[in-house]
Amino acid sequence: MLIVTTENVSGKDLEMLGIVTGSTVQTVNALRDIGASLKNLVGGEVKKYNEMMEKARNLAIDRMVEQASSMGADAVVAVRFSSAQIMQGAAEVMASGTAVKFK
């Protein structure tokens, strides 16, 4: 399925089917969270959190695409991401967009 951040797909006429979303809440385990807290003291990249967020984005996209597929969509346009901290070491990631069918 085509997934784009633009509102249009070049050369295609689109029939709007509706808003689709996908979300997940991910966390790292407590030991990694302690390690990340220590990293905060010295600075630098926190790789385990990067991995967690990448996994969360991919899962949110998969869930959004699943919803779009169930509507008969060929693509999702105007895709946006948002994230929020739910608690220490846990974040929600949401992907949303508009499911469309090519005419």
Q: What is the DSSP string of 13-82?
A: -EEEEEEEEEEEEEE--HHHHHHHHHHHHH-S--HHHHHHHHHHHHHHHHHHHHHHHHTT-SEEEEEEEE
| pTM for this predicted structure | 0.84
Element holding 90 (H helix, E strand)? strand 90-102
What CATH code is carried by the domain that includes residue 10?
Answer: 3.30.110.70
- Mean pLDDT in the chain? 88
Q: How many domains does the chain have?
A: 1
Pairing mode, if any, of strands 2-3 and 75-87?
Answer: parallel
Q: Which domain holds residue 78?
A: 2-102
pLDDT digits (tens, 9 = 90+) for 46-59: 787 888 889 999 99
